[in-house]
């Protein structure tokens, strides 16, 4: 559990970066880094759940990641598929509801099947929501939301923030409170662009496989010291 004096954000998003560089620094293959990154994700999910986070969005595979070597992409797809099924007892034990944000269409059929199954099997769980971003891009989500709005009979001249936001992948998830990126890079890489409009940002130099509950508590500590004004002036 984190220290009692911390303000815990409701919705946390994490860009889990640094798996490949972590592996390279140890003379290992990039795939070894991705395997270790999965173990880290499980630790962080558990700590976030214990801390009282309501929703945790994890950037697992972006729409741009298809540009990577075919061998690495195939490995990642296989890792996602087997991990979703293998961790069901972990989800059930903690009551974790698993959802997916992203474009399902380009994903391999067996990966798509596993995503839909885990969503269905955990849909009644009432604990923290674990939102997996797989084949996800913020721009792509906004474009798909606009097309969905038009297909439902909406007129372009009538669209507003509410109309578009209700057509996002999961409109019931609160906007992002805290956006974390590991691995030392200082960018958000097309991650939850709409939902992150007023998110607090926390960048960590630590590679994702080395992240622990203490790193997450450090992010919460920084968040607790922020004054969120949402464009207004504090009174």
Catalytic residue positions, numbered: 17, 65
Q: How many CB atoms lie within 10 A of CB 177?
A: 23
Cα separations in angstroms, 18 against 14, 34, 100, 113, 226: 12, 9, 22, 28, 26
Tell me the two tokens of residue 132: 């997996």
C-alpha closest to that of 16 among 41, 51, 39: 41
**130 SS3 class:** strand
Strand order, beta sheet including 97-101: 97-101, 129-136, 55-62, 11-15, 178-181, 200-203
| Extended beta strands in the chain, E state | 11-15, 55-62, 97-101, 129-136, 178-181, 200-203
CB-based contact 89:125 (threshold 8 Å): no
CB-based contact 222:202 (threshold 8 Å): yes
**197 SS3 class:** coil
């Amino acid at each position: 559990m984190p220290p009692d004096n911390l303000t815990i954000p409701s919705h946390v998003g994490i860009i889990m970066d640094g798996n490949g560089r972590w592996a390279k620094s140890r003379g290992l293959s990039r795939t070894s880094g991705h395997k270790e990154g999965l173990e880290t994700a499980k630790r962080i999910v558990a700590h976030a759940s214990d801390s009282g986070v309501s929703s945790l969005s994890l950037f697992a595979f972006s729409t741009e990641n298809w540009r990577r070597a075919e061998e690495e992409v195939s490995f990642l797809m296989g890792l996602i598929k087997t991990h979703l099924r293998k961790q069901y007892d972990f989800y059930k034990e903690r009551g974790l509801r698993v959802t997916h944000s992203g474009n399902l269409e380009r994903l391999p059929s067996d990966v798509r099947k596993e995503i839909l199954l885990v969503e269905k099997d955990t849909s009644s769980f009432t604990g923290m929501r674990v939102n997996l971003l797989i084949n996800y891009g913020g721009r792509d989500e906004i474009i798909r939301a606009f097309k969905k709005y038009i297909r439902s009979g909406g007129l372009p001249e009538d669209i507003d923030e509410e109309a578009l936001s209700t057509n996002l992948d999961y409109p019931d998830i609160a906007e992002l409170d805290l956006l974390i990126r590991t691995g030392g890079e200082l960018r958000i890489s097309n991650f939850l662009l709409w939902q992150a409009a007023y998110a607090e940002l926390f960048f960590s130099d630590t590679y994702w496989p080395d992240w622990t509950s203490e790193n997450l508590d450090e992010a919460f500590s920084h968040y607790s010291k922020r004054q969120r004004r949402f464009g207004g002036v504090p009174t």
